C-alpha cells in the first residue's frame, strides 16, 4: 500500500511510519519544515514538504495521487493558541479530506481526540481544541466519497506499548501509549471494514488486531 500521513513528523506519525515501512508499505509523511526529513527517512518514510496551513487543495491532492490510504495525524501541538487549533486541528483536517476526495483516495483515517465535540463549551485553549477537533470530525463524517474512520485516543503517554487495548464506540477515559495508537492505526489503514465508525481507544486487555476485527462492521 501507499499511505500518505499528514503531520508526518508528529510523535504518533513517526511511530506509524516505522510500523508501516517495516511491513513493506510505501509511506509518505507531509512535513512543515525543512530539516525534518532525516527523522522520516530513519523511520522508513519519504518526506514531502507541505504546509497544510497555507497549501491549496490541488497542492495537497498532488501529494495524495496514487495513494491507497490517507491518515490525518497533524496537530497544532502543546503551546499553541486557540487560533492554531482552528487552522491546524480543524481547517487542515478539512483541507486534507478535500484533497483526498479530489485525488480519489477513499480510505481516510483521522486521529482525533476523546471529547471532541463542535458544541463543547468553555473559553480555555483546550476547549477550543476539542471544538476544532469536533468540527473537523463532523466535516469528515458528511463525506460519502470517503471510507472514513475516526479514532479518538484517551490520554496519550510515552510508555512502551503493550499491544493490548480497548477499542469501542465508547470506552470512558483512560491512558493509551502512543505506541499502541500507532499500532491500531496501522491495522485500520489496512482495511476499510471499520469505515463509518468513530472509535475511542484506551489501554485494555485485547490484542490490537483482535480489537480492530471485533469492531469491524459494527
Sign of CA dihedral 207, 195, 172, 87: positive
Cβ–Cβ under 8 Å, residues 180 and 156:
no
Q: Is 108 a catalytic residue?
A: no
Q: Per the structure block, which three cell numbers stand in for 72?
A: 490525518
Cβ–Cβ under 8 Å, residues 211 and 193:
no
Cβ–Cβ under 8 Å, residues 35 and 73:
no
Q: 3-class DSSP state for residue 156?
A: strand
The count of residues in the chain is 218
Distance, in Å, from the CA atom of 172 to the CA atom of 155, rounded to the nearest integer, reads 11
Q: Among 86, 129, 149, 197, which one carries the catalytic annotation?
A: 129
Active-site positions read 129
Amino acid at each position: 500500500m501507499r499511505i500518505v500521513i499528514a503531520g508526518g513528523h508528529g510523535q504518533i506519525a513517526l511511530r506509524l511510519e516505522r510500523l508501516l515501512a517495516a511491513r513493506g508499505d510505501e509511506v509518505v509523511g507531509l512535513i512543515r519544515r525543512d530539516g525534518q526529513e532525516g527523522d522520516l527517512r530513519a523511520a522508513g518514510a519519504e518526506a514531502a514538504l507541505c504546509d497544510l496551513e497555507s497549501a491549496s487543495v490541488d497542492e495537497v491532492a498532488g501529494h495524495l495521487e496514487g495513494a491507497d490510504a490517507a491518515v490525518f495525524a497533524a496537530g497544532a501541538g502543546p503551546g499553541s493558541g486557540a487560533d492554531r487549533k482552528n487552522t491546524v486541528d480543524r481547517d487542515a483536517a478539512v483541507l486534507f479530506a478535500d484533497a483526498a476526495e479530489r485525488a480519489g483516495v477513499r480510505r481516510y483515517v483521522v486521529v482525533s481526540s476523546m471529547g471532541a465535540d463542535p458544541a463543547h463549551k468553555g473559553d480555555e485553549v483546550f476547549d477550543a481544541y476539542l471544538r476544532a477537533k469536533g468540527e473537523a470530525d463532523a466535516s469528515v463524517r458528511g463525506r460519502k466519497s470517503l471510507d472514513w474512520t475516526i479514532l479518538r485516543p484517551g490520554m496519550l503517554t510515552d510508555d512502551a506499548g503493550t499491544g493490548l487495548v480497548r477499542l469501542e464506540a465508547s470506552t470512558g477515559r483512560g491512558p493509551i501509549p502512543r505506541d499502541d495508537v500507532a499500532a491500531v492505526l496501522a491495522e485500520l489503514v489496512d482495511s476499510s471494514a471499520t469505515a463509518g465508525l468513530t472509535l475511542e481507544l484506551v489501554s485494555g486487555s485485547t490484542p490490537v488486531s483482535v480489537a480492530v476485527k471485533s469492531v469491524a462492521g459494527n
